[in-house]
Amino acid sequence: MAQTALEKYVPAIRALAGRWAAEVAADREAAPDGDFVCSPAGMWLALTAVAAGTRGATARELRTVLGVAGPEAAALATAAGRALGPADGVAVATAAWARTPVHRAFRESLPDVAFGHLPSAAEAVDGRAEAPVDPALLDAWVRRATGGRVAGLPGRPGPRTLLVLVNSLALKAEWATPFVRSRTRDLPFTDASGVARPVPTMTTKLPRPTHAWTAPGADGAPVEVVALRCAAVQVSFVLGAPGSGAADVLPAAWADQRDRRPVAEDAVTIALPRLSLRTRLDATAHLERLGAPSAVAEDADFSAMSPEELTISRLVQDARLTVDEEGVEALVVTDIDVRHVLSAPTRAPRTRHIAFNRPFGTVIFHTPTGTPLFTAWQATAPRPE
Pair (126, 16) in one structural domain? yes
pLDDT at 151: 87
pLDDT at 317: 95
Pair (144, 66) in one structural domain? yes
- Look up the pTM and report it: 0.90
Classify residue 326: in a domain, yes or no: yes
Q: Phi then psi for 42, rounded to 5 degrees?
A: -65, -45
Pair (268, 287) in one structural domain? no
- φ/ψ region of 338 (left if φ > 0, alpha if ψ in -120 to 50, else beta) reads beta
Environment class of 89 (CB within 10 Å of its CB; exposed 0-12, middle 13-18, buried 19+): middle
Query: 56-66 and 40-51 helices cross at what angle (nearest 10)?
Result: 160
Pair (17, 161) in one structural domain? yes
pLDDT at 43: 96
Rounded distance, CA 236 to CA 328, Å? 11
CB 312 within 8 A of CB 293: no
pLDDT at 31: 87
Encode 95-128: b = buried (16+ Cβ within 10 Å), e = exposed.
bbbbbbebeeebeebbebbeeeebebeeeeeeee
Rounded distance, CA 140 to CA 149, Å? 12
Residues present in the chain in total: 385
CB 157 within 8 A of CB 133: yes
Helix (H) or strand (E) holding 81: helix 71-84
3-class secondary structure, 11: helix
CB 101 within 8 A of CB 306: yes
Pair (86, 76) in one structural domain? yes
Classify residue 361: in a domain, yes or no: yes
Environment class of 288 (CB within 10 Å of its CB; exposed 0-12, middle 13-18, buried 19+): middle
Classify residue 385: in a domain, yes or no: no
Rounded distance, CA 91 to CA 128, Å? 36
Pair (109, 250) in one structural domain? no
Rounded distance, CA 264 to CA 340, Å? 59
pLDDT at 111: 95
- φ/ψ region of 58 (left if φ > 0, alpha if ψ in -120 to 50, else beta) reads alpha
pLDDT at 210: 76
pLDDT at 170: 92
**Cβ partners under 8 Å of residue 283, min gap 6:** 20, 23, 24, 43, 315, 316, 317
Pair (123, 51) in one structural domain? yes
CATH code of the domain in which 191 resides: 2.30.39.10
pLDDT in tens, the chain (385 residues): 455 688 899 999 999 999 999 999 999 888 889 999 999 999 999 999 999 999 999 999 999 999 999 999 999 999 999 888 766 688 899 999 998 899 999 999 999 999 998 876 554 444 445 566 778 889 999 999 888 888 888 888 888 889 999 999 999 999 988 999 999 999 999 999 999 999 999 999 987 777 899 999 999 999 999 999 887 789 999 999 999 999 999 999 999 999 999 998 888 999 999 999 999 999 999 999 999 999 999 999 999 999 999 999 999 999 999 999 999 999 999 999 999 886 544 566 788 888 989 998 999 999 888 999 999 999 999 877 6
Pair (91, 232) in one structural domain? no
Pair (165, 294) in one structural domain? yes
pLDDT at 125: 44
Distance from CA of residue 350 to its chain's centroid?
37
Instruction: Give how many domains the chain has, as a whole number.
Output: 2
Classify residue 57: in a domain, yes or no: yes
Classify residue 354: in a domain, yes or no: yes
Classify residue 67: in a domain, yes or no: yes
CATH code of the domain in which 11 resides: 3.30.497.10
Pair (133, 84) in one structural domain? yes
Classify residue 148: in a domain, yes or no: yes
Pair (372, 235) in one structural domain? yes
Q: Nearest to residue 225, comparing CAs of 366, 39, 361?
A: 361
Per-residue DSSP letter, 174: E
- The alpha carbon dihedral of 78, 299, 133, 31 has a sign of positive
**Cβ partners under 8 Å of residue 208, min gap 6:** none
Per-residue DSSP letter, 226: E
Domain hosting residue 110, numbered range: 2-173+276-340
Pair (31, 95) in one structural domain? yes
Classify residue 384: in a domain, yes or no: no
Rounded distance, CA 123 to CA 120, Å? 7
CB 272 within 8 A of CB 237: yes
